[in-house]
Structure 1
Amino acid sequence: MKKIILTTVVFLGLFFASSCEKELDLNSPNDITVDQYWKTESDAQAGVNSIYAMFYKDGLWARWIYFRLDLTSDEGFSNSPWTELADWTRFNYINYNFWEGNAVTWRDTYKAVFRCNQVLANVPNITFQNEDDKKKILAQAKFFRALHYYYAAILWENIPLVLEPSTPADLPQQKNVTEVWAQIEKDLNEALADLPASWPADQTGRPDKGAAEAFLAKAYMQQHKWPEAKTALEYLISGPGAKYSLATNYRDNFTDTHENNSESVFEIQFGDQRKGGTGEDQNAALSSNRSQFFAPRGIGWSDGQARFWLVNAFKQEKNKTGNLDDRLRWTLFYPNLLADFGDKTYGKNWEWGADEAWFRKGSRDYYRNNEDYYSQVNYRLVRYADILLRYAEVLNETGNTAGAYQYVDQVRARVNMNTLAVAHPEIGNDHDKFLERLKTERVLELAGESVRWEDLKRWGDLDSQAAVDKISLRDPDFKNFKVGKNQRMPIPQVDVDNNPNLDQNPQY
């Protein structure tokens, strides 16, 4: 039931592939052309399904985007023997065209946008028996175009904004990130109007109004549009979309056995039915490679791991019964895991140092003793705990610090932690103290879930040398960070060289 999105039509990749991959404008007698396609409702449905297939590409959520969002942040780092790969998590950017660090994520982002644009350009001309079905297809394409531009804005900021199906001769204009945010807002608001409040069970995994509101809130917050973010979040918390609740068991958010639960706002549907690569062939994998690259030595490739300060952060405060925060157990692998929790799910042959930690979320240690490229564990891009903590942040930013406490307390209560007022009475009604504590609360709840980089940017923690110096005390990689430069990545140089309308990002 959860894998409905995985039944995409593979051949679509041959013709929905990004225009930048077409070196010659020739029609193959074995392939369908654009003029021959886009005739029926089934064409439209297959077209929108091809957008979902982009989640399984190595530049995006199958593999490399986690290096950008998790390991570049102060939560993670890389000690990979592949020096250039590790350098791209510690701001040592030499070759801007480095495939695994930059170029493939740029390519797959625009490939996804291209597929969205194909749907938006061609589906309006198809006759549907039910116009609502057409609207839902177009709304999904707008949602995903906004989603992919959201992460592009987070990573590169000033980028081309392509809104029509591209051709090989196109030289798209670069837009300021403010224009990118405006387009993201437009797409999400238009998608919101036509997405359903919920989908039937056999369509699980498609975005609904709640997912659109969640990404609207994220976009507004990155721009410090606090009143607009408050309205979007209230749809999910107290408005028509208030259908979510925290899962009773925290770990149920990170295994394949309790996917699409009450806490899920939007998650990527992964599966291990096929064991192919990340291309467009019929055996292309539908799985996540994250756990293979982030697992401890001896279990996976170990190219990415967690900073040990996270372990210490969890140990700063005990729960109501005097025990450790149970989230630590399910967030990280570290040497004292057995001593702290009696956790025998990992083997003694695992290789790690005394001060090393590894991300546990999404690992499959609950039923196997190694990782591979074919993890079927869904990735929760947005869950309700994140929404509650975001709402607390928005209330604090709009002058209602006292009202924000209850939303943090809901998240803490699940793991038997004391209320925030009891545990940290020093905060009181002070905006700055509340925000500083909220930064920690988000780490304890969401570490390793690909939100930390955008959090650091939103909080302005990358905007001054003093703030970056503070981060470098817990993550030495930030000693390489250049204020005014490294809050965004360089644009692949080959694109800059080939497009006179594209400038390299400042200081690169």
Structure 2
Amino acid sequence: MKNLLKIQILLTVMLVSSCSEDLLDVPNPNTLTADEFWQSEEDARLGVNAIYAMFYKPGLWSRWIYFRLDLTSDEGFSTSPWLELGDWTRFQYINYNFWEGNVQTWRDTYKAVWRCNQVLANVPDIEFTNPEEKERILAQAKFLRALHYYYAAIMWENIPIVLEPSSPEDLPEQRPLEELWEQIELDLTEALAVLPVEWDAANVGRPTKGAVNAFLARTYMQQRKWQDAKQALDYFFVGEGTGKYRLVQNFQDNFTHYNENNSESVFEIQFSDVNKGGDGEGPNATMSTNRPQFFAPNGIGWADGQARPWIVDEFKKELTTDGELDPRLRYTLFYPDLEADFGDNVYGRSWNWGNNIYFRKYARDYFRENEDYFAQNNFRMVRYADILLMYAEVLNELGQTAEAYAYVDEVRARSNMRPLAEAYPQIGNDRMAFLERLKTERTLELFSESVRWPDLKRWGDLESQGGVDQIAVRDPDFNNYIVGRSIRLPIPQTEVENNPNLNQNPGY
């Protein structure tokens, strides 16, 4: 699929078609209009591939979204000399139009949605030799629209729901979060009926039924619809996906480019370093991630993102069955004692960064001594380990705490940790005690994988001052957090001023 996504010339075509005809004084004979383009099966294939290309845009998964999902949570923070960038990770929003912290992610989110809507509006009228391929193209567009709206719901909550190809003069109405969740559920449910259990080798990386069920479960869980979430997750354990997924033996394999799309992968973004162009719309635009460049230590990268020290202490509270340190610590963080604890240095050099701690997942120190803007490591958006821990959480919420242990134990066993009941017998069948421990289990396994912010929201830890005060002990940035306001981003002010159907989010 990485090769398929090189074909990005369509992106420019589609952007031009978004302008109303009266704005185009002189037609460009070298550029197709939307009416001229959507004619063939190949046009439909290019159209859906253009949606995937949005993963590579800096407002989304190439760069800035990690600042919101990882650094704003209690996992990370920023000491960037770019003061405004750092402020956006510590709830100090003064300029709602800050490009890198807000506007670009908003723009790229709706740009991705627009591409989905283009496919959904135009492909139904194209004749296909194989009708099943046509339905799968439409189902991919629905899944990807739901995915982008899911993260929009996590970030801004109350936003316009746009379901048709839009024009610059459109003034879409703002909708409440509840309606956004309903639309995400609808898109995912319709995609689920069509998408396959797996794709052939040429199409690895496109969403499967497993990926759809994973995002359905996430969507239901954020709304605390536990029974619906269980039904989605049942796919992996008693449904068609039973036995298809399993944890890889080597934890590190989930973060390098050596063993991508493995048995633990449920859905991952297909990054590549083949193109080293800019992030525009040309055929040689980059398909890489910049995350390692921005999060690597000073002198290697920009060090704009750092990890909080409490996580190192958390890893060291419990030893393996052999009396060793949790091996996940080794591949999760760069920290001062890494060389003493595991014999590892950092990008080929001994530690010289004081007490600072940095993210190691997706760093490329395993095969090079520097970083750049063209990292090729696929981002594992959903891993089977996450599915196991989600299922445990859902079972616990449904009063099946005793049954939930097995799924946590499967994750712990890979790291040679004792079964949960043996390590923490005081939990028993106490639902709240189990949930508190599960919060830690998710942190140890999934740290810096962009799930912590949704977790904190789902658990209700951000809804009361008492909950926020507890987080602030780990992360002093939460002393800036305002209950009822900071749980969501402000909508870019330019959008509010230009659209009378938009109101700024509460408290801003």
The alpha-carbon deviation at position 507 of structure 1 amounts to 0.5
Distance 1:428 1:318, change over 3 A: same
CA-CA distance at 1:214 after TM superposition: 0.5
| TM-score calculated relative to the size of structure 1 | 0.98
Distance (whole Å) between structure 2 residues aligned to residue 162 and residue 40 of structure 1: 25
* 2: CA distance, partners of 1:412 / 1:333: 22
Contact kept? 2:273, 2:374, Cα under 8 Å: yes
Aligned partners of 2:23 and 2:167: how far apart in 1?
A: 11
Spell out, residue by residue over 1:159-188, the C-alpha distance to the aligned partner (whole angstroms, 9 max, x if none). 000000001211000000000000000000
**Count of residues in correspondence between the two structures:** 506
Who is 2:281 aligned against?
280
Distance, in Å, in 2 between the alignment partners of 1:344 and 1:108 is: 37
Q: Give the match for residue 80 of structure 2.
A: 80
Percent sequence identity over aligned pairs: 66
Q: What are the within-5 Å matches in structure 2 for residues 105-504 of structure 1?
A: 105-242=105-242, 243-344=244-345, 346-348=347-349, 351-354=352-355, 356-504=356-504
Cα shift at 1:35: 1.0
Q: CA deviation at 1:22?
A: 10
**2:44 paired with 1:44:** yes
Q: Which amino acid aligns with 1:56?
A: Y
Moved more, 104-113 or 302-311: 302-311
Amino acid at match of 1:396: N
Structure 2: how far apart are the matches of 1:128 and 1:147?
Answer: 26
Q: By how many angstroms is 1:21 displaced?
A: 11
The CA deviation string for residues 214-247 of structure 1, in whole angstroms up to 9 with x for no partner, is 0000000000000000010010222101210000
CA contact (8 A) 1:6 1:269 kept: no
* 1:17 positional shift: 6.5
Aligned-pair CA distance for 1:30? 2.2
CA distance, structure 1, for counterparts of residue 171 and residue 341 of structure 2: 57
Equivalent-residue separation in structure 1 for 2:30 and 2:282 (angstroms): 15
Contact 1:299/1:350 (CA < 8 Å) preserved in 2?
Answer: no
Counterpart position of 1:8: 7
Unaligned runs of 5+ in 2: none
Q: Secondary structure of 1:115's match? A: helix
Q: Distance in 1 between matches of 2:371 and 2:23?
A: 40
5+ residue gaps, structure 1, are: none
Q: Distance in 1 between matches of 2:257 and 2:81?
A: 31
- CA distance in 2 between counterparts of 1:35 and 1:327 reads 53
Relative to structure 1, the CA distance from residue 22 to residue 463 in structure 2 (aligned partners, 3 Å threshold; closer, same or farther) is farther
Aligned counterparts of 2:178 and 2:10: Cα–Cα separation in 1: 36
**Other structure's SS at 2:35 match:** coil
Q: RMSD between aligned alpha carbons?
A: 1.4
* In structure 1, C-alpha distance between the alignment counterparts of 2:430 and 2:460, rounded to whole Å: 18
Residues 477-507 of structure 1 deviation map (CA, whole Å, 9 limit, x = unaligned) = 0000000000000000000000000000000
In the alignment, the residues of structure 1 paired with residue 496 and residue 338 of structure 2 have an alpha-carbon distance, to the nearest angstrom, of: 47
- TM-score, normalised to structure 2's length? 0.98
Q: Deviations over 1:29-65 (max 9, x none)?
A: 3210011111100000000000000000000000000
Distance 2:93 2:41 in 1: 46
User: C-alpha separation between the residues in 1 aligned to 2:445 and 2:290?
Assistant: 23
> By how many angstroms is 1:9 displaced?
2.7
95-104 or 343-352, which moves further after superposition? Answer: 343-352
SS of residue paired to 1:35: helix
1:266 aligns to what SS in structure 2?
strand
Question: 1:4 touches 1:204 (CA, 8 Å); kept in 2?
Answer: no
Deviations 1:419-462 (A, max 9, x none): 00011111011011000000000000000000000000000000
Deviation at 1:97, TM superposition (A): 0.4
CA shift, 1:144, in A, is: 0.2
- Structure 2 counterpart of 1:334, one-letter code: Y
